[in-house]
Chain A
Amino acid sequence: MSASTSPDTYQPKTSVGRISNFIDTRVGASSIVKEFGRKVFPDHWSFMFGEVALYTFVILLLSGTFLTLFFDPSMAETHYTGSYVPLKGVEMSVAYASTLDISFDIRGGLFMRQLHHWSALLFVASVSVHMLRVFFTGAFRRPRELNWVVGCTLLILALAAGFTGYSLPDDLLSGNGLRIIDGVIKAIPLIGTYLSMLIFGGEFPGTAIVGRLYVMHILVVPALILLMIAIHLFMVVVHKHTQYPGPGRTENNVVGFPVGPVYAAKAGGFFFIVFGIVAVIAANFQILPIWDYGPYDPSPVSAGTQPDWYIGFVDGALRLMPGVLGGFPFEYVIFGGYTLSLNVLLPALVPAGILFGLMFTWPWIERWVTKDNREHHILDRPRNAPFRTATGVAGVVWYCVMWAAASSDLIATHFHVSLNDVTYWLRALFFIGPIVGFMVTRRICLALQRKDREIVLHGRETGRIVRLPHGEFIEVHEPLNEYKLHRLVDFESPAVQPAVPDANGRITRTEKLRGRLSRFFFEDRVAPVTPAELEAAHGHGHAEVEETKPKAEVTSR
């Protein structure tokens, strides 16, 4: 048996050493340190958004745990006896009363509530901005498509976490929010009414919904988010992080700082900074003063109320949809006695469905159109992918139009314009906005690329005016150094991939569509400067002052 006992040749001397050695010989910490201790992470300010999302989620877990110690998710009736005088004796649910208690009678409770709510807003915001960063830089391309899908799922879970939490205090606002959800569910054909009754345990509002949302909010949704975060980060480690283009950075390496000590210190310190900033906000800015709104009652409502920002786009879509158009209502009685409420169903499902559908599938759409199946670890500068940047902006514009519509009444009252006109304009923008956004963004990208070309070919304007011997004045242009130059020329400009016949020699309909899309996306493009072009530009001397030909267009259309 002596052969099977491992001879411990290493004998630690200090107590810390003994503890680490104990752990190492039980779980193999050495190999973990070896793998991750000096793992390199590239650094860029735009990589922070994902960190903000992770850290706000940690803050949510911490502050949320505190809140669960005092919150009672019961809809039983009670009369308020706490210390907030204006509501003394008022009939309300236990859930609302315990939220008041957290705010007024538990020291630090109000701070924790505000910290929790502000973190939640920031959590969804940072997830969204992180996704925009990933989209606009093309970080979702192979091999990271699945991680993009995990990210999209996380966004949906973040919305679910936010909405279930918003509905818990059982105040007037959250009750009206639930009433709207009930109305939307009831509009679902065939099963809507049953679904609504199952969710609410009978007729709206019932006495079950807060408890049911509570278990979703504190158990199911956060558990799923944690699981998704684990998968998300695991894949980041597997793929290694993407990096921006630059001198010395290639598809085959990662340039950055090692985890220990620099990256760990910066990322770890950043957690405390995020926490600190959310604490400043929670200390100074009131959020959801439920005592002003009162307990839920189906009769009153306050004008100018807004949902939490991330629900706004759905609420705005609901507002934009006309219920009656040209005398024809969007509500039909079909099959002799069943109501189909397209005026609710369409805006509640279609825009969100299109947005999330395109979001989930975009990596595959782009791969299909560009026929680019290579691995990409170098990010695109957004200007160097005009088609993608323009598509993304079109989506953002569309989202923002709906989002603005959720505040149509406030826009009308603040700017003293007619509410109806605001709605008509937003309805028009709903269709026109994304198209204009696409066209303008693509032009801006192409213009910026042309500007980059110009800087590469002719250097930077120095502002120094020199008079030549024959009397001509020129501005001296300073050529770029090789590092700056490399930043501006190191990109790919995909060309149109025309439709090609398949094995049978036929051009299928989908291939035709792909060819059209490819033409639409890449017909107008700006290629990076080649060394030969740079040579030529330097060759004819003062090219920058001799050029007087009229402005030529990039487009060939």
Chain B
Amino acid sequence: MGDHSHGGPKSSGTVATAGQGEVEKFQDPGLPPHRPRLADKDPRAEKRAERQVAILFVISVIGTLLFFVGYFAIRLDETISTLRLQNFTLGMGTAFAMLGIGVGIVHWAKTLMPDHEIAEERHAVRTEEDRQIAETMVSEIISESGIKRRPLIRNTLLGAMILAPLPAIGILRDLSKDLNPDVLRHSMWDAGVRLTRDPDGTPIRASEVTIGSAFHVIPEGLNEAEHKLEEKAKAVVLLMRLNPEDLQVSPGREDWNYNGIVAYSKICTHVGCPVALYEQQTHHLLCPCHQSTFDLTQECKVIFGPASHALPQLPISVDSEGYLVATSDFHEPVGPSYWERG
């Protein structure tokens, strides 16, 4: 097919050279003629439409009845299947009740109510006459109030109005009794606290941690702690064992692992999701929320994703009974960064 559009910039008006207002326009032919519908011309079609609307309304009645059948006749027992059946019956009953009415009314409007389009005039949002009247009124109101002539009143009122809402903000101070960011620096871990399994709290022997295995760990006594969830949100730890030669240990951390068993905070340093996925082959830890990836062999350095700093390591050792214990708290705050973290 050839080009029919006269699209060239020089050959036609596609890039109009004349100003917008000067371009001659087509005459508006006005509203298209009304075309009667079948129901307008044929009494039988009209009768049929009427019956259809009535049937739809009857379907709605049946839907409402179905709802009550589902509500009273289906007894919920301890299986999910009766719940599913009841949910289906109540939902479909409601759906038929609603759709019957809705489709019926719309069908009624489209087939039987007049379908002549009407044109209505628009009016200006504001007329110049109204504007003048309003302007006079406002200046009268201002002058009668005297707020312009008495700056002392105006300024003191302004001052009062600015201050008056402040208590409404100040009173929110006690939304939290405690506002000391230092609590974020400390967790339940301390020298001698045993590493126990999450959630049952049984201690873990170093010998139980085989190479390639991973444990979800909480500090001993967490389940009895007063603020259990708050403490847990800071104290959860992942415990894994690698070949000691796979670990790149930085100076000062030589005694933080025990025979290749390492413990790292499970709370992502990005925005705090649990870093719950451990890839045994690559020794990567992956956060399922935003895919921050930490390399266990490089002391959980960030190797991919939005986190900016490594997962804090928990220094561990074993006690006299062979159970894994922490040798201190984390040396830095766990979880997402915050302003005072430093």
Contact = CB atoms under 8 A, between A and B. Distances in A.
Contact of A271 (B76, B102, B184, B267): B102
Given A269-B102, A450-B7, A190 B125 contact: no
A182 B271 CA distance: 7
B12 interface: yes
B289 interface: yes
A188 B3 CA distance: 58
Contacts of A39: 120
Given A272-B98, A339-B339, A450-B5, A256 B117 contact: yes
B88 A297 contact: no
Contacts of B337: 186-187, 331, 339, 341, 344
Interface stretch (A199-207, A352-360, A385-393, A463-471): A199-207
Given A193-B181, A302-B288, A179 B11 contact: no
Contact of B120 (A40, A272, A279): A40
A527 interface: yes
A interface residue count range (under 10 / 10 to 19 / 20 to 34 / 35 or more) = 35 or more
A248 to B, nearest CB: 3
B101 A272 contact: yes
A457 B342 contact: no
B150 interface: no
Most buried by A among B96, B120, B181, B267: B120
Contacts of A201: 175-176
Interface string B107-120: 01110011101111
A373 interface: no
Contact of A297 (B71, B92, B229): B229
Contacts of B31: 247-248, 255
A504 interface: no
A298 interface: yes
Interface in B278-332: 288-292, 302, 304-309
A170 to B, nearest CB: 11
Contacts of A38: 118
A544 interface: yes
B236 A322 contact: no
B28 A486 contact: yes
B306 A272 contact: no
A552 interface: yes
A272 B102 contact: yes
A298 B288 contact: no
A255 B118 contact: yes
Contacts of B158: none
Contacts of A549: 2-3
Interface stretch (B15-23, B133-141, B255-263): B15-23
B102 A273 contact: yes
A252 B5 contact: no
A506 interface: no
A344 B30 contact: no
A26 B276 CA distance: 68
Given A108-B71, A343-B270, A83 B76 contact: yes
B196 interface: no
Given A256-B118, A265-B113, A552-B3, A193 B28 contact: no
A409 B11 contact: no
Interface string A308-322: 000000010011111
Contacts of A482: 29
A197 B176 contact: yes
Chain B interface SS verdict (over half):
loop
B112 to A, nearest CB: 10
Interface string A296-334: 111111111100000000010011111110000111010
A186 B338 contact: yes
B172 A301 contact: no
Contacts of A83: 76, 78
A539 interface: no
Interface in A239-270: 239-240, 247-248, 250-258, 261-262, 265-266, 268-270
B105 A280 contact: no
A404 to B, nearest CB: 14
B176 A198 contact: yes
Interface in A529-546: 529-533, 537, 543-545
Contacts of A329: 302, 308-309
Contacts of A282: 87, 91
Interface in A192-218: 192-194, 196-206, 208
A261 B109 contact: yes
A36 to B, nearest CB: 12
A417 interface: no
A551 B289 contact: no
B135 to A, nearest CB: 20
A319 B19 CA distance: 50
A463 to B, nearest CB: 13
A183 B335 contact: yes
A432 interface: no
A531 B26 contact: yes
Interface in A155-196: 176, 179-180, 182-184, 186-194, 196
Contacts of A10: none
A495 interface: yes
A107 B86 contact: yes
Interface string B71-87: 10000101000010011
Contacts of B339: 186, 188-193, 338-340
A448 B338 CA distance: 53
B323 to A, nearest CB: 20
Interface of B: 2-9, 11-16, 19-20, 23-26, 28-32, 71, 76, 78, 83, 86-92, 94-106, 108-110, 113-115, 117-122, 125, 172-173, 175-179, 181, 183-184, 198-199, 216, 218, 227, 229-230, 232-234, 236, 266-267, 270-274, 276-277, 288-292, 302, 304-309, 335-342
13 contacts: A114-B87, A183-B272, A189-B339, A192-B339, A204-B230, A205-B233, A248-B29, A254-B122, A269-B106, A269-B109, A318-B306, A453-B5, A551-B3
Given A265-B106, A272-B103, A339-B339, 13 more contacts: A85-B78, A187-B337, A198-B176, A203-B230, A256-B117, A269-B108, A269-B109, A276-B100, A280-B95, A330-B308, A343-B270, A343-B306, A493-B16
A-B CB proximity, top 7 nearest:
A283-B91, A183-B271, A272-B102, A269-B105, A276-B99, A552-B8, A248-B31
